[in-house]
Amino acid sequence: MNQTTQELDLGAVRAFVAIAEDRSFSEAAAGLGISQQAISKRIARLESGLGLTLLFRSRNGAALTEDGRAFLPHARALVGLADQAVEALRGRRRALRIDVLDTRLSASVDLVRAFHQATQRADIEIITSNGLRSARDALARGTIDAAFARVGGPVEENLRHVPAYLEPVHVMVGRDHPLAGLREVEVEQLTGSTVWMPGNVPGSEWAGYYRLLGAAFGILIDDSGPDFGWEYFVEEIASGGRIGFVGLACRLPWHPRTVQLPVVNPVPVYPCSLLLHRQNQHPLLAALVDCVRAGFRPYDPRRQWMPEPDRAVFFQE
């Protein structure tokens, strides 16, 4: 590709084609919605870049030079190809790709399902990943369009976050555990206890949340593993004296010897936001944001608790 081709201005090429077809600068300018002065400047720029005269100007209109006649079919092809490319993008129906971290963490999945139903079953692709650690880059690359994650602090300027939900924290214990007979567990009853969470990957936003929760209420978080998955986690809770933290909406494997109890006074809530890239123009994103906002229940500081870093940024879009 030579330097001249690289500098072709598509707008100027489109102006040339319009003049060639209308045989008039003024009519071509009106058809393009620009002034006659603007179209004249475009042609002058095109001819200067090519080093050729493409049009004769006269009182009777405009006529093609020999070079103009030679250039016209190529110019038409360029404009046609550009129009086809734009039309292909406009008509493209790519699925809205949403990262929900884990389909068993169903608070985000429930929101996506509600959106799917509200938009007459819009085309959606569910992605699972490593949460905020991978979502930042994936949103920037455009490999996902939105992600549910705990923010916990400032995000990059090109990202925005919308409060999505506050999920109450529960404890899971075996039926032989001393807490199993209660209807709910007060936070102070967990002070001095060790809560086992092998899935708390170092550096993850959920590990950070439970570290802050433990520090606030004198609870030791044991993240020793290995993490063999939810089935193993539930089986271990059922068979021993361990305590585990889970979210209210988590869809964990059912086990007859486990009990899940709400934590109260205050209720620790896990704050999750919807993240999206400010330059992403997917046509379904605005509707997704509206759906998330409509379902959000406000934070009640009189009976709920979330870490101070989250309170500082959670409601700042």
Q: H or E element: which one contains 126?
A: strand 124-127
Of the candidates 90, 125, 140, which is a domain's last residue? 90
- Is the domain of 34 the same as that of 104? no
Average pLDDT of the segment spanning 116-134: 87
Q: How far apart are the C-alpha atoms of 293 and 284, rounded to whole Å?
A: 15
Per-residue pLDDT of 240-296, as tens digits, reads 889 999 999 888 888 999 999 999 999 999 999 999 999 998 989 999 999 999 999
Quote the Cα angle for 92-98-101, to 5°: 155
Nearest C-alpha neighbor of 285 from the set 272, 296, 295, 276: 276
Are the beta carbons of 300 and 168 closer than 8 angstroms?
no
27 — pLDDT class (breaks 50, 70, 90): confident
Q: How far apart are the C-alpha atoms of 124 and 141, rounded to whole Å?
A: 18
User: Which value, in Å, is the radius of gyration of the alpha carbons in the chain?
Assistant: 30
Of the candidates 39, 68, 90, which is a domain's last residue? 90
Per-residue pLDDT of 200-224, as tens digits, reads 988 899 999 999 999 999 999 999 9
Per-residue pLDDT of 54-105, as tens digits, reads 998 877 788 899 999 999 999 999 988 888 777 666 555 688 999 998 887 7
Judged against a pLDDT cut of 90, whether residue 119 lies above it is answered with: no
Per-residue pLDDT, 99: 94
Are the beta carbons of 201 and 131 closer than 8 angstroms?
no
Which residues, other chains included, contact 218 with Cβ-Cβ below 8 Å and sequence gap of 6+? 191, 192
Per-residue pLDDT, 101: 86
Q: How far apart are the C-alpha atoms of 226 and 64, rounded to whole Å?
A: 77
145 three-state secondary structure: coil
Nearest C-alpha neighbor of 225 from the set 205, 200, 243, 250: 200
User: Which residues span the domain enclosing 12?
Assistant: 3-90
Query: What CATH number should be reported for the domain holding residue 257?
Result: 3.40.190.290
- Is the domain of 77 the same as that of 134? no
Residue type, 126: I
Of the candidates 55, 90, 125, which is a domain's last residue? 90
Which pTM does this prediction carry? 0.71
- Is the domain of 50 the same as that of 100? no
